[in-house]
Amino acid sequence: MGLVRPAILLIGCIFLLTGCGSLSIMKARSAMEAMNSGDLETYLQDWDENATFVYPGNTSASGEIIGKKAIREWFENWRKVFPDLKFTIKNIYLKNNFYLGDENIIAVHWEAQATNKFGKKVNSTGIGVVTIKGTKIVRVQDYIFDADKLKEFWGE
């Protein structure tokens, strides 16, 4: 019993020092690694079944995709168009660093490089805004800084 109380205090201190935000940042990095390797199963594991994904622009891929199944299909098509796409995380921003409530927002500033299936080199940058409720991702909206090039990127 003498070691239990100090162990609980140590765990509590680590939690307070690192915060829930550290877990969110680790999950964001892990998700990008999964995306880079084409592992959609891992990438989508924390998404709610009724999640929404919003992709910008005026391409055939643009719009609001609702439901985990439809989102998976969208990303499968996306990987076919950009098979070697690689993301680099530049920064991760958290609305609530000590997330203990019902909702949190994470913004991931990224850069991406690829060659699309038509042989066109693609370099892009943007921010993905992720809304989490409880432990599940309920909404992701991408803001792409060079969205005027999306039709060219998609070969349209």
pTM over 0.85: no
- Inter-residue contact 55 to 62 (CB < 8 Å): yes
Predicted local confidence at residue 52, as pLDDT: 98
Q: Could you tell me which CATH number the domain at 4-154 has? A: 3.10.450.50
Predicted local confidence at residue 18, as pLDDT: 39
Domain map (residue ranges) of the chain = 4-154
Predicted local confidence at residue 88, as pLDDT: 92
Predicted local confidence at residue 109, as pLDDT: 94
Q: What is the DSSP string of the chain?
A: -TTHHHHHHHHHHHHHHHHHHHHHHHHHHHHHHHHHTT-HHHHTTTEEEEEEEEE-SSSTT-EEEESHHHHHHHHHHHHHHSTT-EEEEEEEEES-SS--SSEEEEEEEEEEEEE-TTS-EEEEEEEEEEEEETTEEEEEEEEETTGGGHHHHHT-
For each successive 10 residues of the chain (156 residues), what is the average pLDDT? 49 44 69 86 93 95 97 94 92 70 84 94 94 89 92 90
